[in-house]
Amino acid sequence: EAGVAQSPRYKIIEKRQSVAFWCNPISGHATLYWYQQILGQGPKLLIQFQNNGVVDDSQLPKDRFSAERLKGVDSTLKIQPAKLEDSAVYLCASSLDRSTGELFFGEGSRLTVL
Amino acid sequence: GQQLNQSPQSMFIQEGEDVSMNCTSSSIFNTWLWYKQDPGEGPVLLIALYKAGELTSNGRLTAQFGITRKDSFLNISASIPSDVGIYFCAGRPGSNYQLIWGAGTKLIIKP
């Protein structure tokens, strides 16, 4: 069974530029999560989708971050414009449904903002 | 907001030693999970716990859901080099709540 796929693995941009990350969850998983992980910290939830609907985006900085999961399968997270403090690993995870806390994570996309 | 206190922050151990780490919350949880993260990878689920007092093993790993429902423990017996990594606890008060994550315990094996 294929795992959660993410791309790109690494991205370096200058502040005020934009960046997009892509995630393809495990087939059949209805719930998709985007987490931000700053070095030395645990993951912080940015947004949770159930199929193509947003369940929770309370911690998403909506002035600069956006995410979509239009067809209820893969998802894109965008940052525009990026700030220095956005340097982090962006982790995508999926689960069969929202009732379980058993998440399957991708390898992450490491963003460096200069 | 709710917080998880995970300790210790890091551990230096000899190969073959047993390891213990724990997590405490400020409120009652109905789910506790333990994940491991290797460098450059995403976290991987090790053990999930759903009932107070539950004790679950996964190979050399054993985790317990505390009776008070405010804590959980992870033990690793006879550590080996591949146990190196960061262990995260995560929990939540109910299925309609988001997971709350600890800051992680970094396990380092002394050469």
Residue B42 touches partner A, C-beta closer than 8 Å: yes
A83–chain B nearest CA distance, Å: 22
Q: What is the mean pLDDT of residues B72-101?
A: 93
Q: B21-55: per-residue pLDDT in tens?
A: 999 999 999 999 999 999 999 999 999 999 999 99
Residues A66-82 have pLDDT tens digits of 999 988 899 999 999 99
As beta bridge partners, residue A53 has A50
pLDDT, one tens digit per residue, over B18-27 is: 999 999 999 9
Of the pLDDT bands very low, low, confident and very high (cuts 50, 70, 90), residue A23 is very high
Q: How far is B65 from chain A (nearest CA, A)?
A: 15
Residue B2 has pLDDT above 70, yes or no: no
More confidently predicted of B92 and A97? B92
Helix then strand count (H, E) for chain B reads 0, 11
Alpha-carbon distance of B48 to A70, in angstroms, equals 31
CA-based nearest residue to B18, from B71, B62, B55, B69: B62
The answer to whether the Cβ–Cβ distance between A45 and B103 falls below 8 Å is: no
Asked if the peptide bond before residue A8 counts as cis, ω within 30 degrees of 0, the response is yes
The predicted model gives B1-20 an average pLDDT of 91
Which pairing describes strands A109-113 and A10-13: parallel, antiparallel, or unpaired?
parallel
The answer to whether A7 and A21 are in contact (CB under 8 A) is: yes
**Chain B residues touching A102 at Cβ < 8 A:** 33, 45, 48
What pLDDT sits at residue B106?
97
Q: What percent of chain A has pLDDT over 70?
A: 99
Lowest mean pLDDT of A18-27, A57-66, B19-28, B93-102, name the range.
Answer: B93-102
Cα–Cα distance measured from residue B109 to residue A37, given in angstroms and rounded to the nearest whole number: 24
Output the pLDDT for position B94.
84
Per-residue confidence (pLDDT) for residue B97, from 0 to 100: 84
Please check whether residue B81 touches A, CB under 8 A.
no
Residue B96, pLDDT score:
80
